[in-house]
């Protein structure tokens, strides 16, 4: 299905004026014919007046008003006739029908959030309800944000991860959106969830050895936590590939939430804490060894004291205990000879 934009129908004001004039003329002809005729036969102007009064309002059905970034897909007796896509006051075939299968679909996204005042809608007049129903047939061409519920997905190592993604999208081809899929909003929501699941299972949550995330056969440093921009771009590309047939354009995708699932979050936190403690201990030990070596070299260079190998070992042990201990050292005073 190819989109056909109707750009030559912006004559709604002219048709509205002519229709009002025709209705007024019908009333005038009706009164004139009724007043100038006999009891058995009304005047000649009576019947044209009746016709205009009965059918002169039909052109009003073809008047369509569009605001900025709105579109209206029209069909005539089941056949697609075109799309009104720019703001303006249009006149189309009065028997044309507006089509939007996703008009009543409400997702967790911008443009679909109700005010919540459902009680007030009950007291709307029939005309207002009809106007609201007609307005819902319009297709928004604005950039909209889809934020589905968080998903629990297993990463490449099998760890359950919770992730939330926001997708910024818009309708690019109204004919494809309306006719190629049953409901383009639900279609987008489903494809977004599928793409997130397909991409997340390629990556580990954190950097892990021997994991290939690019498909080139070599391990790399890609991860969900450290490569969020790259992961989001791959999600966007996959969603775009899936929804191209629906005439939708995916502008951007961003990860809004990322965490381990609650059932393993505590264990993974302990693992991260243990890794941090090990790294810190390693740094402390490296620094302590360097300080001991420096102390022995300075003592030997200055000739302050001559130590044999046994005393050097004792000094190294004492210094390492002092420098690597978790608590402050408690000094012991030696009142005797060093030897």
Q: Which tens digits make up the pLDDT trace of 313-331?
A: 777 777 777 767 666 666 6
Q: Would you place residue 119 in the very low, low, confident or very high pLDDT band (cuts 50, 70, 90)?
A: very low
CB 70 within 8 A of CB 141: yes
Tell me, yes or no, whether 318 lies in a domain.
yes
The position carrying tokens 């060894």 is: 289
Domain boundary among 36, 71, 99: 99
What is the domain-level CATH number for residue 196? 3.30.479.30
Residue 53 lies inside a defined structural domain of this protein? yes
Together in a domain, 186 and 218? yes
Confidence class for position 116, pLDDT limits 50, 70, 90: very low
Per-residue pLDDT at 168: 94
> 296 and 236, same structural domain?
no
Residues 198 and 212 in one domain: yes
Whether 215 is in a domain gets the answer yes
Is there a single domain that holds both residue 240 and residue 290?
no
The pLDDT of residue 129 is above 70: no
* Residue 133 within a domain: no
What's the confidence (pLDDT) of residue 318? Answer: 72
Q: Note the pLDDT tens digit of each residue in 141-158.
A: 999 999 888 889 988 888
Q: 273 with 299, same domain? A: yes
Q: Which range is least confidently modeled, 16-30, 115-129, 222-236, 323-337?
A: 115-129
CB-CB contact of 201 with 262 (8 Å): no
Tens digits of residue pLDDT in 280-300:
778 878 887 888 788 877 877
Return the ∠ at Cα 297 (arms to 306 and 324), rounded to 5°: 105
Q: State the total domains in the chain.
A: 3
- Which one has a higher pLDDT value, 270 or 244? 244
Is 109 inside any structural domain?
no
- The label of the residue with tokens 């005042």 reads 117
More confident site: 287 or 115? 287
Is 60 exceeded by the pLDDT of residue 125? no
Q: Write down the pLDDT at residue 193.
A: 92
Residue 148 sits in the same domain as residue 253: yes
Q: Are residues 246 and 168 in the same domain?
A: yes
Q: Is residue 245 part of a domain?
A: yes
More confident: 335 or 78: 78
d(CA 136, CA 180): 20
pLDDT tens per residue, range 156-202: 888 889 999 999 999 999 999 999 999 999 999 999 999 999 999 99
Tens-digit pLDDT profile for residues 4-63: 988 888 888 898 999 899 889 888 888 877 777 665 666 677 778 888 888 889 999 989
200 lies in the same domain as 274: no
Could you tell me if residue 334 is inside a domain?
A: no
Of 99, 134, 157, the one marking the end of a domain is 99
In 3D space, the residue among 195, 189, 203 whose CA is nearest the CA of residue 238 turns out to be 195
Helix ranges (DSSP H) in the chain: 12-36, 46-55, 118-122, 126-136, 174-179, 184-200, 228-243, 262-302, 309-324
The reply to whether 211 and 313 lie within a common domain is no
The reply to whether 241 and 298 lie within a common domain is no
In a shared domain, residues 255 and 151: yes
Residue 331 lies in a domain: no
| Co-location of 314 and 211 in the same domain | no
Q: Is residue 120 pLDDT above 70, yes or no?
A: no
Query: What's the chain's average pLDDT?
Result: 81
Does the predicted model carry a pTM greater than 0.75?
A: no
Report the percentage of the chain scoring pLDDT > 90: 34
Q: Which of 128, 167, 134 is nearest to 148 (CA)?
A: 167
Domain of residue 194: give its range. 144-260
Query: Given a cut of 60, is residue 66 above it in pLDDT?
Result: yes
**pLDDT for 316:** 76
Domain edge (last residue) among 223, 243, 260: 260
Q: Counting every residue, how long is the chain? A: 339
Q: What is the pLDDT of residue 45?
A: 76
């Amino acid at each position: 299905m190819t989109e056909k934009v109707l750009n030559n129908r912006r004559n709604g004001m002219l048709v509205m004026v002519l229709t009002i004039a025709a209705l007024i003329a019908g009333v005038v002809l009706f009164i004139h014919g009724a007043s100038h005729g006999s009891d058995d036969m009304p005047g000649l102007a009576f019947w044209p007046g009746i016709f205009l009064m009965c059918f002169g309002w039909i052109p009003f059905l073809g008047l369509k008003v569009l605001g900025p970034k709105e579109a209206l897909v029209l069909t005539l007796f089941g056949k697609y006739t075109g799309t009104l896509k720019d703001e303006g006051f249009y006149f189309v075939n009065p028997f044309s029908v507006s089509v939007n299968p996703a008009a009543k679909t409400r997702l967790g996204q911008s443009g679909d959030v109700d005010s919540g005042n459902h009680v007030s809608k009950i007291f709307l007049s029939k005309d207002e309800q009809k106007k609201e129903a007609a307005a819902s047939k319009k297709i928004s061409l604005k950039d909209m944000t889809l934020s589905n519920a968080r998903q629990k997905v297993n990463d490449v190592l099998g760890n359950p991860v919770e992730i939330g993604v926001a997708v910024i999208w818009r309708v690019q081809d109204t004919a494809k959106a309306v006719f190629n899929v049953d409901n383009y909003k639900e279609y987008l929501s489903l494809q977004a969830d599928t793409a997130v699941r397909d991409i997340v299972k390629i990556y580990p949550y954190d950097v892990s050895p021997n994991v290939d995330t690019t498909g080139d056969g070599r391990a790399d440093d890609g991860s969900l936590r450290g490569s969020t921009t790259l992961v989001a771009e791959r999600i966007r590309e996959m969603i775009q590939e899936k929804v191209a047939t629906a005439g939708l354009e995916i502008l951007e995708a961003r990860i809004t939430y990322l965490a381990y699932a609650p059932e393993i979050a505590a264990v993974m936190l302990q693992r991260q804490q243990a890794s941090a403690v090990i790294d810190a201990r390693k740094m402390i030990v490296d620094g302590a060894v360097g300080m001991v070596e420096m102390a022995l070299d300075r003592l030997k260079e200055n000739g302050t004291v001559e130590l044999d190998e046994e005393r050097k070992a004792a000094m190294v042990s004492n210094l390492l205990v002092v420098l690597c201990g978790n608590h402050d050292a408690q000094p012991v005073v030696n009142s005797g000879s060093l030897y």
